[in-house]
Amino acid sequence: MQGRWLEGRHALITGGGTGIGAACAAHLHAAGAKVSLLGRRLEPLEKVAAITEGKAISCDVTDRAAIEAAFNEARAAHGEIDYLIVNAGIADSAPFHKTAREDWDRVLAVNLTGAFDCAQAAIGDLLTGEDRRLIFIASVAGLRGTPYAAHYAASKHGLVGLMRSLAKEYARKSLTVNAICPGFVDTPMTDQSVARIQEKTGRSEEEGRAAIEALNANGRLVHPDAIATQVLTLCLPQSRDTNGAAIVIDGGSDA
Ligand code: NDP
């Protein structure tokens, strides 16, 4: 993607220190945006900030007061938020009958309630400027039933419902609200899934990774840059009529 289409605009990315969030930071920075990067661990955030001239802010998205403080810190550094990329998330897997109430609460708190709180913390900015964007990183698990990850799938279905509702509610404003729904992506989250398979089945790392790759129709993991390129595309002024979309990037499916 050539051109600094996003020159001077401010993108706030939750979970910006690793995986998809870090790829988004690189792509949006390359297009001219100023980036604010949020996550719990400061070290990975600072590494990404160093190569994207970004602002690293430690923030747990399960803490509403911390979100408000972090968003204010981001505004102090880079001005009003033009693009909010709600990307922070956690995955977990277990048979439903072995899923503890605490596991449900933990996953919902980050993936859904955290997204609600982040969207509310930015909505004032998003509704006032031109060509503003709210982008949720959901999952194909937000569109399909997902065995052994009912809590994760429920959180991502909730995220897609939140996105669709806000897209309609604000359709007449200069804000679009969309979600990207990836299949398995080559990130630390997938590394953790591989480790869980190894731990639970005794399979090797190679076998665990192959099992996950086989879940994408094309038999390989999606590259994080594929998600980041779509995020960048949604931020372009030319994408102003893409609203309420759940964009699947999973290597081929009928989702
Ligand atoms: P990563 O694990 O690399 O990224 C998740 C990020 O979220 C981390 O940077 C983490 O930082 C941050 N995070 C987690 N919990 C919190 C919290 N409570 N507060 C603030 N930040 C938090 O994996 P991905 O890049 O793959 O995941 C990004 C998003 O993509 C997630 O929402 C995930 O569900 C979604 N996704 C991923 C897929 C995959 O196959 N990898 C497939 C479909 C969707 P820290 O730990 O420092 O807080």
Based on C-alpha coordinates, what's the Rg of the chain?
A: 17
Asked, for residue 60, whether it belongs to a domain, the answer is: yes
pLDDT score of 50 more than 70: yes
State how far the Cα of 228 lies from the Cα of 48, in Å rounded to an integer. 14
Q: Give the number of the atom of ligand 1 that is nearest the alpha carbon of residue 19.
A: 25
One domain for residues 189 and 232:
no
State how far the Cα of 127 lies from the Cα of 217, in Å rounded to an integer. 38
* The two three-digit tokens of residue 98, written as one number: 């072995």
State in Å: Cα 19 to ligand 1 middle: 7
Asked, for residue 236, whether it belongs to a domain, the answer is: yes
Q: Which domain holds residue 119?
A: 10-183+223-246
Burial of 60 (0-12, 13-18, 19+ CB in 10 A): middle
Residues whose CB falls within 8 Å of the CB of residue 128, separated by 6 or more in sequence, listed in order = 80
Convert the pLDDT of each residue in 137-175 to its tens digit: 999 999 999 999 999 999 999 999 999 999 999 999 999
Asked, for residue 251, whether it belongs to a domain, the answer is: no
One domain for residues 38 and 58:
yes
- When comparing pLDDT for 3 and 83, which is higher? 83
State how far the Cα of 234 lies from the Cα of 223, in Å rounded to an integer. 18
Q: Which residue has the tokens 């920075």?
A: 29
- For the chain, the domain total comes to 2
Question: Which helix (DSSP H) or strand (DSSP E) does residue 176 occupy?
Answer: strand 175-182
What pLDDT is stored for residue 255 in this prediction? Answer: 62
State how far the Cα of 72 lies from the Cα of 74, in Å rounded to an integer. 5
One domain for residues 93 and 62:
yes
pLDDT-based confidence at 253, cuts 50/70/90?
confident
Q: Give the number of the atom of ligand 1 that is nearest the alpha carbon of residue 221.
A: 40
Q: Which residue has the tokens 């048979």?
A: 95
One domain for residues 95 and 152:
yes
Q: Is 152 a catalytic residue?
A: yes
State in Å: Cα 233 to ligand 1 middle: 21
State how far the Cα of 118 lies from the Cα of 170, in Å rounded to an integer. 17
Domain containing residue 44: CATH number:
3.40.50.720
pLDDT score of 92 more than 80: yes
Asked, for residue 203, whether it belongs to a domain, the answer is: yes
Q: Give the number of the atom of ligand 1 that is nearest the alpha carbon of residue 17.
A: 9
Convert the pLDDT of each residue in 211-234 to its tens digit: 999 999 999 999 999 999 999 999
Within 6 A (CB) of ligand 1 lie 14-15, 17-21, 39-41, 59-62, 87-91, 110, 137, 139, 182, 184-185, 187-190
Task: Give me the chain's average pLDDT, please.
Answer: 97
Asked, for residue 254, whether it belongs to a domain, the answer is: no
One domain for residues 108 and 199:
no
What pLDDT is stored for residue 1 in this prediction? Answer: 47
One domain for residues 148 and 25:
yes
pLDDT score of 238 more than 60: yes
State how far the Cα of 164 lies from the Cα of 246, in Å rounded to an integer. 8
Asked, for residue 5, whether it belongs to a domain, the answer is: no
Asked, for residue 72, whether it belongs to a domain, the answer is: yes
One domain for residues 169 and 233:
yes
Beta-carbon neighbour count of residue 67 at 10 Å?
A: 21
pLDDT-based confidence at 3, cuts 50/70/90?
confident
Instruction: Determine contact, residues 96/149, Cβ cutoff 8 Å.
Output: no
What pLDDT is stored for residue 137 in this prediction? Answer: 99
Q: Give the number of the atom of ligand 1 that is nearest the alpha carbon of residue 184.
A: 40
For a pocket test of ligand 1, which of 27, 38, 107, 189 has the largest count of ligand atoms closer than 8 A to its C-beta?
189
One domain for residues 131 and 205:
no
Residues whose CB falls within 8 Å of the CB of residue 32, separated by 6 or more in sequence, listed in order = 4, 5, 6, 7, 8, 9
pLDDT score of 2 more than 70: no
One domain for residues 176 and 211:
no
One domain for residues 200 and 80:
no
Report CA torsion sign: 167, 171, 177, 181. positive
Q: Bridge-partner residues for 249, per DSSP?
A: 182
For a pocket test of ligand 1, which of 13, 14, 18 has the largest count of ligand atoms closer than 8 A to its C-beta?
18
pTM confidence score: 0.98
Residue closest via CA to ligand 1's atom 46 equals 40
One domain for residues 114 and 61:
yes
Instruction: Determine contact, residues 58/40, Cβ cutoff 8 Å.
Output: yes
Asked, for residue 253, whether it belongs to a domain, the answer is: no
One domain for residues 216 and 227:
no
